[in-house]
Amino acid sequence: MKSAVIVFPGSNCDRDAQVALRQASGKDPAMVWHKDGTIPAGTDLVMVPGGFSYGDYLRCGAMAANSPVITQLHAHAERGGYILGVCNGFQILCETGLLPGALMRNTSLDFVCRPQQLKIETSNSAFTSAYDSESEISIPIAHHDGNYVADDKTLDTLEGEGRVAFRYVGNPNGSARDIAGVISENGRVLGMMPHPERAIGGHEGGTDGLSLFTSLMAAA
């Protein structure tokens, strides 16, 4: 699998993403600075990492969504490439229109940072095939604006098409219908607030995130 990580000013999970992709594929991902605007040819997976792109000014992910590299990200999606957006990356994907909905301030108004139980809603995706549907895993979360919102029609469509990938067990942020991660209509783009790249080797507190990268390896 040939992968790339997009790096924005304020990204702070890009190195975690690099380590996770290296462990999963045995190859270093390309680290793409957002102003370069070029995703290497032949890339299978682009990861948009967590952090605080542009300091979360205006609205989380809004400024990053207008960076030069976003045109290339859309082109990658249109040709059938995989995209994984984690935390701030999820916010950016929603701001670009690659995923529906938006991420708002946590209902508690507090930053939450802890291991979080998730339920696997579907194993019928390129991102979750290595998991068992309905099983529970523990993945770290760290966000202030993780409250996923969308209109009822969009939420019904996501549910009806099996595009809810993960659901919170004990909602930490007020997300609609406990949604923690959603998949695009073509099944090639996943956005999620929890950080699977921080649960790949045990030393972070578990390995439940590794199966997501294993799933992508099989798909690619």
Q: Which residues are catalytic?
A: 87, 195, 197
Please work out, in degrees rounded to the nearest 5, the angle formed at the alpha carbon of residue 175 by the alpha carbons of 57 and 159.
120
Strand extents, DSSP E, the chain? 3-7, 30-33, 45-48, 82-86, 102-104, 112-120, 136-143, 147-149, 164-168, 179-183, 189-192
Q: Give the closest residue to 47 by CA, choosing from 95, 96, 10, 13.
A: 13
Burial degree of 81 (CB within 10 A; 0-12, 13-18, 19+): buried
Residue 111, classified by CB atoms within 10 Å of its CB into exposed (0-12), middle (13-18) or buried (19+), is exposed
Q: Which of 64, 44, 8, 30 is nearest to 188 (CA)?
A: 44
Q: How far apart are CA 208 and CA 122, in angstroms?
A: 15
